[in-house]
Amino acid sequence: MSATLAHADLPLAGIRVIEFTHMVMGPTAGVVLADLGADVVKVEPVGGDHTRTLLGSGAGYFPMFNRNKRSICLDLKSKAGLAAARRLIDGADVVIENFRPGALEKMGLGPNDFQESNPGLIYCSAKGFLAGPYGHRTALDEVTQMMGGLAYMTGPPGRPLRAGSSVVDITGGMFGAIAILAALQRRERTGKGGAVKCSLFETTAFLVGQHMAQQAVTGVPTAPMPVRVSAWAIYDVFETAKADEQLFVGVVTDSQWQTFCTLFDLGEIGSDPALAANNQRVLARDRILPVVRGLFALKNRSELVETLERAGLPFAPIAKPGDLFDDPHLNAQGGLVPVTLKDGSVTQLPALPLEIDGQRSGMRHDVPIAGADGADVLAEAGYSEAEIASLREAGALG
């Protein structure tokens, strides 16, 4: 495993973040900042964030997006819990929230409530929509994938299909982190904080923007990805000698085509000068692909991988998420970090996909137990031991 950066060397060391979030988008923004060194304090309801107990496809949300954070449980419906939250925000650099629109404002915890007490505060709201006619709607990742064209592009015609990950939640959270970093940089120049907002719907629109641009350029409505006209002749999943060992191969330049033809005997196709240019090959896909499919079906995937890797051509064995636990590349250089699950077992989950000075950010804090850091966080905010004990006795602190 490669060395990880010491906390003091992480770029956001010294930045305090108070996070009022659940599910995926808000926690993603928080975990990006946490992995980059910020002290992220997650404010959960007494009893813990309900995301901790989700089943099925939601079972992995909490352990994936809440490492390197500390946890405090506050009853925001109580006067004392609300006062504690306000004091935490007064001492923070950043707030992240993804409550329903207006919910924190009604509690007196909105961005305008700290302009005097903490004028340098960066306040990030993660919502379904930015300002506009849809602003009042309730949104989910899948809702905006459907209304934003991503599900249409992912599934076959007539069968819209959500992407196989919470891609809009995660990307939306990343945009939130980008906005926070930009606002922090502005604060360095001006001393002033400000409110930033990220959203699901506009994130989805950004993701499908390439398809909007394609339609604008070509004048033809874009077809779903399973039936699209590919930009390249060979850019497909192929069967190999073993039916369960599929392989993706892409040949995206004329020089790669020449290399591909040298590696594999394609007969007259490989020597046809009329196929030397990419666009000519795209028009001849129906002629080229059956030959390549027939050739690959006779070969073992391991043999094809070795040949393609040696030649420097793009390829990918088709993997399942569970295969990544044992991926040699991820395991060699800190690409996976140890995370303790709620049953006490330890697994390995993907690290932030960045290197800084050749090193990874790594883990400083395991996924927190609900409320485990409450006393420490309040003490840092100036609460005495007696005041903390009083909050517990009143049920305002979990």
Active site residues: 169
DSSP string, 173-188: HHHHHHHHHHHHHHHH
> Could you give the residue ranges of the DSSP H alpha helices within 91-166?
103-107, 141-147, 150-154
Dihedral over Cα of 262, 266, 268, 270: its sign: negative
Dihedral over Cα of 203, 206, 207, 212: its sign: positive
CA of residue 20 relative to chain centroid, distance: 18
Nearest residue to 375 via CA among 363, 361, 365, 390: 390
Report the phi/psi class of residue 396: left, alpha or beta, with left for phi > 0 and alpha for psi in -120 to 50: alpha
Burial of 342 (0-12, 13-18, 19+ CB in 10 A): middle
CA distance 209 to 159: 21
* Residue indicated by tokens 């051509």: 313
Nearest residue to 27 via CA among 56, 50, 3: 50
Give 107's contacts (C-beta < 8 A, 6+ positions apart).
76, 82
CA distances from 394 to 78, 325, 359 (A): 9, 44, 46
Q: Retrieve residue 156's tokens.
A: 């076959």
Residue 262: how many other CB atoms lie within 10 Å: 11
Q: Crossing angle of helices 167-190/200-207, nearest 10°?
A: 100
CA distance 351 to 360: 8
